[in-house]
Amino acid sequence: PIPGVDRYRWIEPRFMRHVTSRESPFRLEALQAAWLNGAGFLAWENLFGFWNPFSPREAEILRRMAMIYRAIPEFVRSKTWEPHAPVLQKGVFASRWTLPNSGPYSGNIWTVVNRTDRPVTGAQLSIVYQGQRYYNLWTGEELEPEGPTVGRKSGKAVLSFALEAQGFAA
C-alpha cells in the first residue's frame, strides 16, 4: 500500500505530529509513516497496565530514527519537504528534504522505506550529481554514485543500496 502524506505537515511544514500505534502488536507501518513524514513516534508500551512491548527490530528502528532526527534536525523541519519523491523500485517510497547552501548543513536527505515483504537491492534513487558525497545514514556507509555522467562536474547519477523487507534507509 502507498503510504499516506501528513496533510497538516503538508500545509504547515513546521508542524510536528507524533505517530502512535499503541494497541497494535505490529508497528512497522506506523514507523514507516512517521519516517516518510518526518514525524515523531510515541513509544507507548504500557497501556494502562497492559504490556505491549516493541519487538527488538521495532526498537532498533525507533532508535535509529531518533538518532538520525537528532543529527539532522534542520532537514526534517525544512519547508522544502517533497513527499513521494521519485524512486526507481516498485514498492519503495521516499521523501526528500532539502536545505539551501547556507549554514553548516546543506543538500538533500531522502527518507526511504521498502513496503514490500521482500528485500530490494540495486538502483534506488536517480539524482543530479554535482560532485557531492553520499551516505546511507541508516547503515553508516558511503554510497558511490553510478552512471555515465558521474565523472563530470554535473549530470545524472544513480544511488544503489540494499533495503531489507519492510526496511528503512536515509
- Tens-place pLDDT, residues 46-66: 778 788 788 999 999 999 999
**Cβ pair 31, 58 in contact under 8 A:** yes
Q: How far is Cα of residue 110 from the mean position of the Cα atoms in its chain?
A: 6
Model confidence pLDDT, tens digit, residues 93-150: 999 998 877 666 678 899 999 999 999 999 999 988 877 889 999 999 999 998 766 5
**Contact status, residue 85 vs residue 108, Cβ threshold 8 Å:** no
Instruction: Provide the 3-class DSSP secondary structure of residue 20.
Output: coil
At 132, list the grid cell: 557531492
CB atoms within 10 A of CB 8: 12
Q: What is the pTM of this model?
A: 0.86
Closest CA to 98 of 110, 115, 112, 86: 110
Please, are residues 82 and 38 in contact by the beta-carbon 8 Å criterion?
Answer: no
